Amino acid sequence: MNWWCAAQDTAWSWTWQPYPGVWLMVAVLIGARLLAVKYWAPQTGEAEGGRAAVYVLGVVVLWIAADWPIGPLGAGYLLSVHTVQYVLFAFVAPPLLISGIPRWLLRRMIRPRWAFKIAWVLSRPLVAFLCFNVVLLATHMPSVVDGLTASQLGSFAVDMSWLIAGLVFWWPILGPLPELKPMPYPGRIVYLIANVFIPTVPAAFLTYARYPIYALYELAPPMSGLSAVEDQQIAGMIMKIVGGFIVFGIASVLFFRWAGSEETPEAGRE
Amino acid sequence: MKLSTRLSTVPLLAAIATTGCIPDVPPRPEELRGASYSDPLEKPDFTLTTTDGDPFDFRAETDGFVTLLFFGYTYCPDVCPIHMANIAAVLRKLPPDVSREVKVVMVTTDPDRDTPERFGHWLANFDPTFVGLIGSLDEVNEIQSRLRLPPASRYGEDDNTYTVGHSARVIAFTADNRAHVGYPFGTRQNDWAHDLPLLVKSNWGAP
């Protein structure tokens, strides 16, 4: 039994496979929040509202991205599914997880001096921008994909690097703590849109390459009617279009919040 | 220019005049991405049946072409479809003066299940010009032994789900009717795209 999805030499089968490492990740994320609420929640603090549901939704997205069938399909058979995983890990789950954590819990998490320093540094837009895009480019290099995705530990490392990079990327935009001096809305919008362009580089390579870039997917047992190059082109389009759609969608939301805050100055302090 | 030098260019000029191009010298082994044979293989002389039911004299029908010969079967879950898909994809992208000089021949190692209809349809999914050949397993194994390949062998008891162990190597015969290089599983489209033009334009066996 495998604990995390990795590339395999066997033909694809639609027979369900358990991945205990994925379940453990889900249990830790849910359990940690439940314990935090039980032991750390202020007696007269802010209401949870819908945050718990948003957080659970973020965990569910991670579960879907990592578990069968998307996990093993993406790890060893289809680059397009691997890119769907990337989008879910880096663009969908992190905003939900950050939005789903109440402010008192975020403050509790950064209470230790070292944690505050890390949060402060990672909240700087340039640092977050560099972290995210270095991870993006590194994890799409052929040597990394072909080398790491073949092992469970390597595949786990890639998935977690996407999640962590996604949390770092979204934190300057959605991290609401005033003590970390978040960017004003115009700055957040510019930051988001600047990040649309970097993924264009790997996306363009995937979309326009004459031959398959990754040996792993080119030499994987075929499981669909797609050729390796068609699969690669779909991956490039997912990376560019779906990732861009999410970024522009959230930039639009920020724009309207900004406009709203101009009309109601109280809201602008969020 | 010395007279002797001038005279030495006459045959070369004559060759250019008659063929229109300068024949390329054979590529050195290190220039090719396939695995070179230190002792090149002779193209085997055999006749098997195509998926259309016609006899196919391998040596005669492929004479003068770069011929990629592969032994596999249509129920193969990985090696065979990947090799065929990669070769077909590259041939579609190579210039016509290269691709039309390449013939792909696959001999089934599973004649019990690879009916002519099934085998023909399977190959046509990759490229309708690919030639599928069917013979008895004894015949096929005898041809493989001449090419220093292991015999195909069946694994599994169930008549529907058994697998066939077979060589994963594609043997590339050049126009001199010898194979100087083979391509194991793991050969990528980039490798085919690099080597096929060299094999087509090479001049192995030329005086």
A112 pLDDT above the threshold of 60: yes
Long-range contacts at B48-51 (CB < 8 A, ≥ 24 apart): B48/B107, B48/B133, B48/B134, B48/B135, B48/B139, B48/B140, B49/B116, B49/B133, B49/B134, B49/B135, B50/B116, B50/B131, B50/B132, B50/B133, B50/B134, B51/B116, B51/B117, B51/B119, B51/B120, B51/B123, B51/B132, B51/B134
Contact A215 B186 (CB under 8 A): yes
Total structural domains within chain A:
1
In a domain, B3, yes or no: no
Indicate the pTM of the whole model. Answer: 0.89
Q: Which residue has the tokens 């599994």?
A: B156
B13 pLDDT above the threshold of 60: no
Contacts with A211 from chain B: Cβ below 8 Å: 89-90, 93, 188-190, 193
* Structural domain that includes position A121: 20-269
Contacts with A208 from chain B: Cβ below 8 Å: none
pLDDT at residue B77 in the model: 93
Is some CB atom of chain B closer than 8 A to the CB atom of A44? Answer: no
In a domain, B159, yes or no: yes
CB proximity under 8 Å: A 156-215 to B: 210-212, 215
Contact B185 A215 (CB under 8 A): no
In a domain, B62, yes or no: yes
Contact B190 A10 (CB under 8 A): no
User: pLDDT confidence of A45, banded at 50, 70, 90?
Assistant: low
Is some CB atom of chain A closer than 8 A to the CB atom of B163? Answer: no
User: pLDDT confidence of B7, banded at 50, 70, 90?
Assistant: very low
Which tens digit of pLDDT belongs to each residue from A223-241? 888 999 999 999 999 999 9
> A13 to chain B nearest CA, in Å?
11
What is the share, in percent, of chain B residues with pLDDT greater than 70?
A: 87
For residue B198 the two structure tokens come to 């060299």
- Supply the CATH number for residue B34's domain: 3.40.30.10
Residue in A9, A10, A211 nearest the CB of B190: A211
> A164 to chain B nearest CA, in Å?
33
In a domain, B4, yes or no: no
Which tens digit of pLDDT belongs to each residue from B51-99? 999 999 999 999 999 999 999 999 999 999 999 999 999 999 999 999 9
> B24 to chain A nearest CA, in Å?
26
CB proximity under 8 Å: B 10-69 to A: none
Mean pLDDT over each residue of chain A, to the nearest integer:
92
Total structural domains within chain B:
1
Q: Please report how the helices A152-174 and A79-87 are oriented relative to each other, as an axis angle in degrees rounded to 10.
A: 40
* Structural domain that includes position B50: 27-201
B19 pLDDT above the threshold of 80: no
0.95 surpassed by complex ipTM: no
In a domain, A1, yes or no: no
Contacts with B186 from chain A: Cβ below 8 Å: 215, 219
In a domain, A143, yes or no: yes
